[in-house]
Structure 1
Amino acid sequence: MKSALCLPLRAVAAAVLPLYSALAGAAPTLDPAVRERAELLTRDGRHASIVIAVIEGKDSAVYGFGRGNNDALPNADTVYEIGSVTKTFTGLLLAQAVAAKQVKLSQPVADLLPGYQMPAVNGRAITLQDLATHYSGLPRLPDNGAPADMNDPYADYGDKQLRAFLAGHVPAHAPGATFDYSNLGFGLLGTALAAKAGLSYAGLLQQRIAGPLGMRSTSAVMTPGLRARLAPGHLADGKPARNWNFQAIAGAGAVLSTPRDMVAYLQSFMLQPDAAHQLAVQPQHGLGDGRAVGLAWMRDEANGHAIVWHNGQTGGYASFAGFTQDGKHGVVVLSNTSANVDQLGVASLIPGSLAPLPAAPEHPK
């Protein structure tokens, strides 16, 4: 789920030309430097496949590279784990609850989970805003996990383990004091919002976001239909990776989706966003150097460009989703190799920003 790994030379074949499909209207083009980089990354085996969806207003196009499901070119309906981009869904669920006056950002999370013993410092309780902005004081991950399968590390981390960790945890600093990226915090937020709604996290996601937006291939749990179109994941060394399953902290990284669905998701922020979508990207804390954090979404300014973005990484996948603050341009980058794809995403939004490609790392055979 890293908010921020590379296939060896066992060479997964790459197409000479990428798959391209326009999803609506005039076809936005992919930056030539980004196209060349994606072709290289899949051709030399650093990524099994990469798919890039380019958005310009209501128009979008999908470009696929490498090999995805059934060794075919990835397309608009190929399924990937999106990792920590899940957090933006959880942030939007919070914003929707605030807009509907069901909760307040300043409300303690304990109000939504009365059976939980929550840590506090000098009487300062952890609020929903703290969780959604990484200001909770909670660590990146709980230290009481004992996964039966290290390749599926969250599958057996349930409510019992989460309650036990929170009851015994002593925060290093008070909530609201400093930014510390926390997968645990977002997992807790998703659990709290689901409890408030009387649903599972997966059910809440379907009811409030995926259903209304027509995102038929987006879910926080694997289904037979999704598995049939899944691009199988790969570790950095090219070996097959297990898909991740979640219980108590699903709100941190459980979502699977497709380029088509992610285009619809980003356009819901870019095109006449409602009050909840506006709140989700509104800066909550400045982080210095032109950076800020909203409800999960990060905001950056560079070279005269202002962008809103988030990235993700699981054991076998990497992702990037972002758009310009003026809502004119957006991009989704998905890979079924656990290797960072941020540069492809940022360079699609800020032309000319693609850095030179470092030499491919060597992995033990």
Structure 2
Amino acid sequence: MPPRLRTLLLPILSLSGAAALAAPTLDATMRERAENLVRDGKHASLVIAVIDGKDSAVYGFGRARPGDSGVPDADTVYEIGSVTKTMTGLLLADAVVAGKARLDQPVAELLPGYAIPTLAGRQITVGQLATQFSGLPRLPANLAPADMANPYAGYGEAQLRTFLAGHTLTRAPGAAYEYSNLGYGLLGTALATQANMSYEELLQARIFRPLGMVSTFTAGTPALRARLAPGHLADGKPAANWDFQAIAGAGAVRSSARDMIAYMQSYILATSPAQQLAVRPQQVLAGEGDGVKKIGLAWMLDQVKGRPFAWHNGQTGGYASFAGYTLDGKRGVVVLSSTARDVDGLGVGVLLPGSLPPPNGPAPKEIAIAPAELAQYAGQYALAPTFVLSVRQGPEGLLVGATGQPEAPVYASAKDTFFYKVVEAQLVFQRDAQGAVTGVVLHQNGHALPGKRKP
């Protein structure tokens, strides 16, 4: 773990025309949580942007660079990872509004030189790519990084064409949700090809320049890259930056809090029909009634205590991000971290003050459980028809994976209770009257999601 840092809270940077005292404030509870995360070495630096309509303020915590006394600010650049997908989704919405594409249009029509897989005569549409219902896997099977620290750098158009030409779909397009970086990379490639531009050029032309996002890029100049906060692995060790080629639309963007405020305000203020289309519900993911969860064009549509909001998160090898706004258009938030640790709880807590329990005290105390006892938890637990937790016994304890997500270890804090170290989440297993494990409840970001164990 990196050395403990003194609490370094940047005073408000008002980005509105009003005086600093009128700038949006950061809830004291969430400020304390952010301070603790930095002080305890869980995040090397954090930047939180709070948006109230046209007004905004940025708060920085930690240090922008090791050995530097300066705190990160509104112009410090971070990798935003999969928040990039919302930008790719917005490019699609922009093309639809302009009459250049349709959500039900087969992606093969935009990529005539590609062999796009089909199943039972059903083609993958651009709308299915944008809602994660394409049937494509999370990653292409021929992704074989020469450098695991920068896994996407060598994956180009030739590799993408080869994979798609040889891939067989295991489910029909539109049948089920499966989070796919491959799918969003393909969507970005298709939209750029249609526009006769590179993905970066299309972003600059349709989003970044119109919104004045001068510090947002995928490749960028040396001067822009020099403003990147150095990334860190979850254990605090230095991490390499990630570079993308063919599937840049899944996670290639780097940005600053100042630019992300402009981006989020374009949704909050509903400045164009494209933004409105991008957050229009397209598919139901889970739940019913007030607890239903939906997806737009990348944006996840959720609610906490009856307060609906749109959000997306991101993570690369050395960074994490969260962007969200309330669907009443009153509030938005962006959280950027230079450590690959989940910041979703922080983001939701800032976006919806009072929606989450107060910050936890010290991390749960880990206890030892015999391997023979751990075996009883192994299995699959359906939290929703398209979202399943897979639990298995690894060499050093339980490993838990979720649909479309990599595995992560969990640690016992009590019988039937396990916690993650890489995210703020907890699993509590349920038993029947005979003592058999029959289900689990995932506690995260103020939600308690129950799941039944599959036979």
Q: TM-score range by the shorter chain?
A: over 0.9
Please give the TM-score of this superposition, normalised by the length of structure 1.
0.94
- Separation (CA, whole Å) in 2 of partners of 1:177 and 1:183: 18
Larger Rg, first or second structure (1 or 2): 2
Equivalent residue number for residue 218 of structure 1: 216
Structure 1 counterpart of 2:13: 21
User: Offset of 1:14 from its aligned partner?
Assistant: 3.8
Q: Name the counterpart of 1:338.
A: 340
The equivalent of 2:26 in structure 1 is 30
8 Å CA contact 1:85–1:320 kept in 2: the answer is yes
Residue aligning to 1:151 = 149
Q: Does 1:273 align with 2:275?
A: no
Q: 2:39 aligns with which of 28, 36, 43?
A: 43
Q: CA deviation at 1:353?
A: 2.8
Kept after mapping to 2: 8 A contact 1:121/1:175:
yes
Give the distance between the partners of 1:182 and 1:209, measured in 2 at CA.
23
SS of equivalent to 1:347: helix
Aligned residue in 2 for 1:254: 252
TM-score by length of 2: 0.76
Q: Which of the numbers 302, 313, 316 marks the counterpart of 1:300?
A: 302
Q: Aligned letter for 1:359? A: A
Residues 80-137 of structure 1: CA distance to partner in whole angstroms, max 9, x if unpaired?
Answer: 0000000000000000000000011110000011110011110000000000000000
Give the aligned partner of residue 4 of structure 1: none
> Cα distance, 1:284 vs. partner?
0.3
Q: Which runs of 5+ in 2 are unaligned?
A: 365-419, 423-455
Question: Which residue does the alignment assign to 1:198?
Answer: 196
Q: How far is 1:309 from its partner?
A: 0.3
Q: CA deviation at 1:276?
A: 0.6
Q: Note if 1:59 corresponds to 2:55.
A: yes
Query: Which deviates more from structure 2 when the two are superposed, residues 346-355 or residues 205-214?
Result: 346-355
Task: Give 4+ residue runs of structure 1 displaced > 4 Å after superposition.
Answer: 360-363
Greater RCO (CA < 8 Å, at least 6 residues apart): 1
Provide the identity percentage.
64
For residues 311-357 of structure 1, the C-alpha deviation after alignment (integer angstroms, 9 at most, x for no partner) is: 00000000000000011100000000000000011011222233443
Answer yes or no: is 1:68 the counterpart of 2:67: no
Q: Is the Cα–Cα contact under 8 Å of residues 215 and 224 in structure 2 kept in the other structure? A: yes
3-state SS of paired residue (2:15) = strand
Q: Where in structure 1 are there 5+ consecutive unaligned residues?
A: 1-7
AA partner of residue 230 (structure 1): L
Higher normalized strand content (fraction of residues): 2
Q: Distance in 2 between matches of 1:12 and 1:165?
A: 46
- Asked if the contact 2:218/2:254 (under 8 Å) is kept, the reply is yes
For residues 137 and 92 of structure 1, the distance between their equivalents in structure 2, rounded to whole angstroms, comes to: 21
Alignment of 1:225-240 (within 5 A): 225-240=223-238
**CA distance, structure 2, for counterparts of residue 14 and residue 111 of structure 1:** 56
Q: What amino acid maps onto 1:220 in structure 2?
A: T
Query: 1: CA distance between counterparts of 2:164 and 2:315?
Result: 25
Instruction: Report the count of equivalent residues.
Output: 355
Alpha-carbon shift at residue 280 of structure 1 (Å): 0.4
Question: RMSD over aligned Cα, in angstroms?
Answer: 1.5
Tell me which protein shows more helix as a share of its residues: 1
Q: Residue type of the partner of 1:348?
A: V
2: distance between equivalents of 1:304 and 1:145? 41
- Cα distance in 2 for partners of 1:19, 1:66 equals 12
Distance in 1 (CA, whole Å) between partners of 2:52 and 2:75 is 19
Q: 1:93 to 1:261 in 2, by over 3 A?
A: same
Deviations 1:233-262 (A, max 9, x none): 000111100000000000000000000000
Q: 1:225 deviation in Å?
A: 1.9
**CA shift in 2, pair 1:142/1:36, >3 Å:** same
CA distance in 2 between partners of 1:229 and 1:15 (Å): 22
Question: Are 1:359 and 2:357 matched, yes or no?
Answer: no
The 3-state SS of whatever aligns with 1:333 is strand
Moved more, 285-294 or 178-187: 285-294
Cα distance in 2 between the residues matched to 1:12 and 1:157? 38
1:176 equivalent among 148, 170, 174? 174
